[in-house]
Amino acid sequence: MALVPISKTGANEARVRAGFWAKLRRVVGRIPFAEDLVAAYYCAIDPKTPARVRAILFAGLAYFVIPADLIPDFIAGLGFTDDASVVTAVVAAVAGYIKDHHRTRARQALLRDKPE
């Protein structure tokens, strides 16, 4: 499991909490990994999730939220491939911690007009 510096965890969490839903609403129709992304979010904010797992999740989610990334999101057909790779790697690394109730909340949030 990759290590994320503890000093970065708070900053990543703040970025994610501030920008996750707004970014998701803008792009949800263009990303096939939305359910994994939202399940990862719910796992990251779950106080029962171990701190090291939360740190990994917030790092991956921050990559999605931050506008400047390896492949700019506005490039048609390629823009979210780097985001998908990061989300896939993060979800695979912590898969045992993303529980059924995180996935259920993710599906419910994606069905609603305004996820919480």
Query: What ranges do the domains of the chain cover?
Result: 27-111
What is the distance between the alpha carbons of residues 50 and 38, in angstroms, rounded to a whole number? 18
**pTM metric for this prediction:** 0.81
Look up residue 9 and give its two tokens.
């965890």
Three-state secondary structure string covering 16-80 = HHHHHHHHHHHHHHHCCCHHHHHHHHHHHHCCCCCHHHHHHHHHHHHHHHCCCCCCCCCCCCCCC
Tens-place pLDDT, residues 64-77: 898 765 555 555 55
Tens-place pLDDT, residues 34-71: 999 999 999 999 999 999 999 999 999 998 898 765 55
